Chains A and B, each alone.
Chain A
């Protein structure tokens, strides 16, 4: 019988996508204009990973969920006011830069070290969850690197479904081309899963859960160790894509018309 999983979710924070994100070069290299002042949210891919993790943990008694996050700790605290209300987890904070300008290798190494150092972590029960990509950069490399560093070679990327079966094996659906799935069965943990959108909706806020989480979140933020990231790529030039998003709002447009527009756009 299941004695539970140890699920570590890696999740960064990203600026609220409603904002104009303008790259600027500061003394510490490239970043976004007014980055600290922009409202931040949990990276949506990581969000799916977290909700799936919580759901899996709930169905497998004895499980535990950690959320390992690297980002400026003041920003992380702000994001936690929403995330902590969604599902139970224990936060581990790496106080460092967030966003798309840090080399995936650096981020992956820092995350792997933090996971390695988790007190009480049982690697034989370990599932490392994260986003297949992130909203700040679609390299799709970070989770792979985390896995490699931890010596976990069963890796799945673009996951939409995980089914934990009674015999301890897990059936996993990964996105492949054209809306199809690749189906795999893995013997059990340890494994790395980079999630696509999963299947679960965003859970509603529950302040009771929030109050429980915050008891651990606040101390975690306080004792967060600064992470020094050095090296990484040199960007010669960074700019906003020239194709700008022009949102049109047309009331009462029938869905067929919208669908046709999308198809025309895809074909153009």
Chain B
């Protein structure tokens, strides 16, 4: 039988914190900042697995750390928001309620389980003016902070935050805000402290568009993103569609049965 050694609660909490912090610092960063037309969310991400997502009409989610852990929290957020919206009304779904659920969940996981979640989240809710925007930072131990219009998470978040703090401007337009975000993310991680220039391929970008009715989340990809990164503006209509790619073209198969086309013989296959 294994010997049980005593470890003081302080020591246990310290160890867990250190473990989580190390895990989060290993990953790449994400920044969220308000601008004149809404809230901009940018993550350094070369994969197709997403760190930024729509939660509800005016609410978006950004996360860094372990993908499997924040993905399950993202799903929980979408489920909770949709359930609240159906039970009450779409206007009654708030970022604060979501941030609350996340803090409770992460806090419980941190204090009750062996391994804390190695994640940091942002719940962003866009308002009518930049002053009415809400950014909540939820950390691995269930702490929550209300951020003043900009935040950076993951990797060398402190250094990135400093760049944002100096130059963040709520009156900036979208391409200026995006340039600042890309520059802040590129200010760390270069060889020998060099800055990096991040391209459209290395960034995952989305906005919560202040002026839109209904679902405000728009993902920026392709030519729209390249144009914006080149410091040129993009007309609002071309900001991309809601976050849903259309399905692949239908094949010539019977749609009513669950069959695949290769289970039916075509005349020319008959020998």
A binds B: no
Q: Which B residues lie at the A interface, using CB under 8 A?
A: none
